[in-house]
Amino acid sequence: MGGWNTADMPDQSGRIIIVTGATSGLGEATARALAAAGAQVIMACRNEIKAQAAARTMPGDVQIRQLDLADLNSVRAFADTVERADVLINNAGVMAVPKLATADGFEMQIGTNYLGHFALTGLLLDRISQRVVNTSSITHVIGRIDLEDLNWERRAYSRFGAYAQSKLALLLFTYELQRRLTLTGSDKLSVAAHPGYAATEISSETQNLLEQIVGLGNRLIAQSADMGALPTLYAATAEVEPGAYYGPDWFNWRGHPTKVGSTAASHDEKTARQLWELSERLTGVQFRV
């Protein structure tokens, strides 16, 4: 697997792939590479003007559809437009923002990064033929799932704590979805990926002095969005293991895709089941798995 890049990606002709958050950064790089490889790419984006600008730079068959993961009505409306797809890439996200609420009253990061994607996956799963790819983060290692206060209503709010919780939730979801798919005999795959440390717009939206530190790190350490997208592209197109997690091969920070590990907390099956049940209650979306 060492050195895998877009030149090694199989021909994607005939595949329909949904990419959330495809207007910039990792999502845009992912969508562009898939379109160049022949896939029909559905860019699921909140900002249609930015999506149109990004789409004009992409080759091949690219469609734009409106999706705001911070609004479950928007998630349902988008799902209604999808007849079928081969792959769903849950990429969109916000990072370390001030305490805000989604349209449904969820804390913004758990609501956008996790609950919105949970609902989207549940609504589309019977129309996804091959695999679901969730974009997590190395920051999941500091994440803690508080099932009694998922939306930070009683805890002192922590921007990075909330971000890390959302990314840990995505891993718990990935592994639990694969367990349920396997139990039902489905050949669909649930896999996860992370970009390592990639310089993208999401890291410039923290809205505080930390932006200066992040900006310095982007210049000195971070890899490009194109490199950061490789683990997601690998997870979406290559021969992968069910329920596996892929990231950069150089200490999880940068490099080419490889299978990576995740924390014991991400493999806690009891927490995963409880989080799944809570997520179904919060979103009103019941999985047919």
Q: For the whole prediction, is pTM greater than 0.85? A: yes
Confidence check: pLDDT of 212 > 60: no
Cβ–Cβ contacts within 10 Å for residue 192, how many? 31
Q: Determine the average pLDDT of the residues in 129-156.
A: 98
* Predicted confidence (pLDDT) per residue in 5-44, tens digit: 999 999 999 999 999 999 999 999 999 999 999 999 999 9
**Cβ atoms of 66 and 78 closer than 8 Å:** yes
pLDDT (tens digit per residue) in 61-81: 999 999 999 999 999 999 999
CATH number for region 12-282: 3.40.50.720
| Residue 251, pLDDT score | 85
Q: Annotated catalytic sites, by residue?
A: 163
The CB-side HSE value for 96 (13 A sphere, CA atoms) comes to 15
Report pLDDT for 154: 97
| pLDDT tens for each residue of 248-280 | 999 889 999 999 999 999 999 999 999 999 999
* pLDDT above 90: residue 135: yes
pLDDT score at 178: 98
Tokens of 279: 């997520």
Q: What is the pLDDT of residues 158-188, one digit of tens each?
A: 999 999 999 999 999 999 999 999 999 999 9
pLDDT band at residue 153 under the 50/70/90 scheme = very high
pLDDT value at residue 200:
57
Spatial separation of the C-alpha atoms in residues 31 and 35, rounded to whole Å: 6
How many CA atoms are closer than 13 Å to the CA of 261, on its beta-carbon side? 4
